[in-house]
Structure 1
Amino acid sequence: MTYRYRIATVFLIGFFIDCINIFMSAVALPSITADLQISNSTIAWVANAYILGLTLIIPVSTWLAARWGAKAVLTGSMLLFSVSAWMCGQATHFSDLVIWRFIQGLAGGGIIPVGQAMTFNLFQGEQRARISTLIMAVALIAPALSPTLGGMIVVHSSWRWVFHCNVPLSLIAAALAWLWVNDSALTAPKARPDLIGLLLVSAALISVLMGMSLYGAGYSAAVALCCVILAAVIAVLYVAHYRRTSEAIVELRLLGSPRLRISILVYYAIPGIFTGVNLLNIFFLQDALHFSAQATGMFMILYASGAFVAMLLCGKCYNQVGARRLFILGMCLHSVGIAVLFLVEARSDLALLITAYSLMGIGGGLGANTAQTTALMDFTGHDTHKASVIWNINRQMTFSLGTALFLMMFNLLADHVEPSRAYHFTFLIASVAGLLPLLHIGVLNAPKDCHAQQQT
């Protein structure tokens, strides 16, 4: 195996591990909730803690690799991931689980940008498209298989093995990174990253998540309002910090790009909302309709299949159709799929569930892939790197905010109607919320302009 394919193998294993950690753990959350005796709103922090760890480390991981060496960062990240995954499975208190999930996110975030940067530097021109196809294949295979595998583990063993089963694969990735990675091609360390800005951004996100989680868990509106006010104050502090810093972690000037703005909104409306809806539906299917964890996880195969079809369609039609039309079609199909969940009343409604996940997969694949293609089109040179940081931080935030928002809505509705109705009304609200970016879709250029931009 050539050196570049060795590096690609290390990166793809790490990327696969990260993907399955987001989706496999979700199907085990009802079991974790029952075992550790916590509320539905609180359990979201199993995912939130992991994503917060990713958000915190991703912007600084390439600097760490330049400073300490890619071999050390990749190997150390996977070893730490192994330890934290094992400790997540050993946790007997919810607070311990959340802490180790945060550490697991820090470890996982260390391998993704470093491995991707090294891989893309080794694959140029037409070869870049080949490795990109492999990356997209992993991104689709992981969410397709991991919920089903996680459900099987929960049914036949324990939710703890959903975390323990990551250890062998992450140890293999650590060993391969140590044996295969060569640091000689690394550049000199760059300027120290904007740690203050990164901490401010993370603190603002945590404050918003805490506000929604506490309000949804029955705390007073005053407590939630204090969290929101704190987040607003932190945001103002970041703006002041941004004006004094030449290399701020989030370059606010770049948000003037209409393509980046609408892509960010669409990512909240599709992957963000889907994350929250899917988590609620997992609880609905297992707690209300008494599906097994294994059966629940299998619906993600439909979602991934639809997303795969959409990815192929998007790649072939983007230049001819344009981002605007693909965004509209993706959001409409995704929202219709969510609305179909409103009609599910019993275990016998399998046709509705199949339709819902298929439509959400096709619509989600169209919207997310179009957003990924469109987001960075307006930038060149150093601005591309800065815009990429904004985009990757935003992607992580959408998952956490979507989960927290719809868990909060469900818990508020459950105080006034029976749980099954609360699930249905939350799905209906989510289907409408997923269409809100249509109000701003007019900022995009005509299809021919998108084509011209992509060719430059």
Structure 2
Amino acid sequence: MTYRYKVAVVFLLGFFIDCVNIFMSAVALPSIAAQLQVSSASVAWVANAYILGLTLVIPLSTWLAARFGSRQILCASMLLFSLAALLCGLAEDFLWLVFWRLIQGMAGGLLIPLGQALTFNLFQGAQRARISTLVMAVALLAPALSPTLGGAIVDHASWHWVFLASLPLSLLTALLAGCWIGHETPARPARPDLRGLLLLSASLGGLLLGLSLYGSGHAGYQALPGLLAGLLFAALYGRHCRRCPQPIVELRLLKNPRLGLSVGIYHAIPGIFTGVNLLSLFFLQDSLHLSAQHSGQFMLLYALGALLAMLACGRYYNRFGAPRLFAIALVLHSAGIASLCAVDSAADLPLIMLAYLLMGLGGGAGANTAQTTALLDFDGGDTHKASVIWNLNRQMAFSLGAALLLMLNNLLLGWFEVLAAFHLSLLLAALAGLLPLLALGRLNPHKVSHAQHPH
């Protein structure tokens, strides 16, 4: 195996573990909420804490790698991840579980952007489109396998084993990183933008706190300070970024139309789907009384649709161009969400299957096209900076999508019955998923289709 493929294997293993931790833990949330006696909105912090941990560390990963070396950081991240996974599995208190999920997210946040930047710098031109397909294959495999496996673990063992199950892979990734990643002489990079990191972390933390409080039934005046603080810190970071010569997250790169639109697409498709899937898991298990394993198996249909779409996009990306593929993806994904609005009982299983298949087709096409398009214009050091934005946005999309859908559903429960609130939440999510159609004109289809030419 050549060196670049060894680096790619380490990155893809870490990426797989990260995806598994999002989707496998989601299917266990109803059981965690029941055993630890917390609300459905509060238990979402098991996922939110992981995302927040990633957010805290992702911007620092490039600086840490330059200071201590890529191999050392990759090994350390997976060892710390393994320790946190063990302590999550042993947790008997909700607050301790959330704390160790935060640490686990911080550990995972070191590997993903660093591994992606190392890999993409070794694959240029048309090869970069091929490695993007491998990345999306991993992103497809994890959602397909983890909910079914996680549901079986919850049904036949306990939710604790959902976290313990990732230990063998994380330890293997640490071992391979130590053996395969080349040695680098650590440098003494400039001091990182700690002020920017604090502002960015405070912004996301405030938004997640406000959304979760409001979604869990707290009064608006209790949630509003968190939301306002999140928006204020976001504005302060935007001002800081314009003045700082080396900001922790280089927002200027978002002026690139390919990266900027791909970021928005990720919120509209994988982000919204994370919230829709989480809301559906609670509905299927609590209202339709399906088992955790049964409800998790719908992701196999999602995976089938995503696989078909991914193969089609890989073949026709250069011919059709990103704008056309994005439009198809957005329509298919929203059509799948809208199909769930007609689900009333367990007798509607065929309709649920169709919905997940459509969402898979749209999700696979949208995520694969965005992954290929986002970093197309970058190489060298700019790849690291763009990778930080891309991975930070990916995690924020998952977290904000879940928080917004849970908040919206809990708000509607104050006015409607459970079924009506569920349907209306999904209808609004389907409409929101179509909004990026208005921005597709920013891309020149002829230029974007030239994926084989590195800029």
| TM-score bucket of the superposed structures, by smaller chain | over 0.9
Q: Of the candidates 432, 446, 449, which is equivalent to residue 447 of structure 2?
A: 449
Q: CA contact under 8 A between 2:266 and 2:397: conserved in structure 1? A: yes
Residue in 2 aligned with 1:346? 345
Can you list the C-alpha shifts for 1:243-272, whole angstroms capped at 9, x where unaligned? Answer: 331011233333333333322222111111
Identical residues among aligned pairs (%):
62
Q: CA contact under 8 A between 2:263 and 2:393: conserved in structure 1? A: yes
Q: Separation in 2 of the partners of 1:30 and 1:424?
A: 20
Check if 1:233 corresponds to 2:229: no
Q: Separation in 1 of the partners of 2:388 and 2:115?
A: 16
Q: Separation in 2 of the partners of 1:437 and 1:396?
A: 19
Check if 1:259 corresponds to 2:249: no
Residue in 2 aligned with 1:42? 42
Q: Separation in 2 of the partners of 1:389 and 1:208?
A: 20
Give the TM-score normalised by structure 2.
Answer: 0.93
Superposed counterparts of 1:353-364, under 5 Å: 353-364=352-363
Can you list the C-alpha shifts for 1:64-113, whole angstroms capped at 9, x where unaligned? Answer: 22222333222221221111111111212211111100100111122223
Q: Give the drift of 1:187.
A: 6.3
Q: CA contact under 8 A between 2:11 and 2:112: conserved in structure 1? A: yes
State the one-letter code of the partner of 1:427: L
Q: Separation in 2 of the partners of 1:129 and 1:452?
A: 11
- Aligned in 2, Cα 1:388/1:176: closer, same or farther, shift over 3 Å? closer
Give the TM-score normalised by structure 1.
Answer: 0.93
* 231-240 or 417-426: bigger deviation: 231-240
Q: Classify the secondary structure of the residue corresponding to 1:348.
A: helix
Q: Separation in 1 of the partners of 2:113 and 2:121?
A: 12
Q: Separation in 2 of the partners of 1:140 and 1:435?
A: 22
Check if 1:71 corresponds to 2:71: yes
- Aligned in 2, Cα 1:382/1:107: closer, same or farther, shift over 3 Å? closer
Q: Separation in 1 of the partners of 2:250 and 2:9?
A: 33
Residue in 2 aligned with 1:18? 18
Residue in 1 aligned with 2:428? 429
Q: Separation in 1 of the partners of 2:367 and 2:373?
A: 10
- Aligned in 2, Cα 1:237/1:391: closer, same or farther, shift over 3 Å? same
Residue in 1 aligned with 2:389? 390
Residue in 2 aligned with 1:297? 296
Q: Give the drift of 1:132.
A: 4.4
Q: Classify the secondary structure of the residue corresponding to 1:38.
A: coil
Superposed counterparts of 1:132-211, under 5 Å: 132-183=132-183, 185=184, 188-211=187-210
Q: Give the drift of 1:299.
A: 0.9
Can you list the C-alpha shifts for 1:3-31, whole angstroms capped at 9, x where unaligned? Answer: 55444433332222112111111111110
Q: Separation in 1 of the partners of 2:213 and 2:128?
A: 45
* 78-87 or 416-425: bigger deviation: 416-425
Residue in 2 aligned with 1:105? 105
Q: Classify the secondary structure of the residue corresponding to 2:262.
A: helix
* 108-117 or 328-337: bigger deviation: 108-117
* 424-433 or 61-70: bigger deviation: 61-70
State the one-letter code of the partner of 1:45: W
State the one-letter code of the partner of 1:50: Y
- Aligned in 2, Cα 1:16/1:255: closer, same or farther, shift over 3 Å? closer
State the one-letter code of the partner of 1:310: A
Superposed counterparts of 1:319-330, under 5 Å: 319-330=318-329
Residue in 2 aligned with 1:414? 413
Q: Classify the secondary structure of the residue corresponding to 2:290.
A: coil
Can you list the C-alpha shifts for 1:308-333, whole angstroms capped at 9, x where unaligned? Answer: 11112112222222222222111111
Q: Separation in 1 of the partners of 2:257 and 2:125?
A: 28
Q: CA contact under 8 A between 1:249 and 1:389: conserved in structure 2? A: no
State the one-letter code of the partner of 2:104: Q
- Aligned in 2, Cα 1:251/1:126: closer, same or farther, shift over 3 Å? closer
Q: Separation in 2 of the partners of 1:286 and 1:252?
A: 41
Can you list the C-alpha shifts for 1:115-155, whole angstroms capped at 9, x where unaligned? Answer: 33444455567665655444332221111111110011001
Unaligned residue ranges in structure 2 (runs of 5+): none
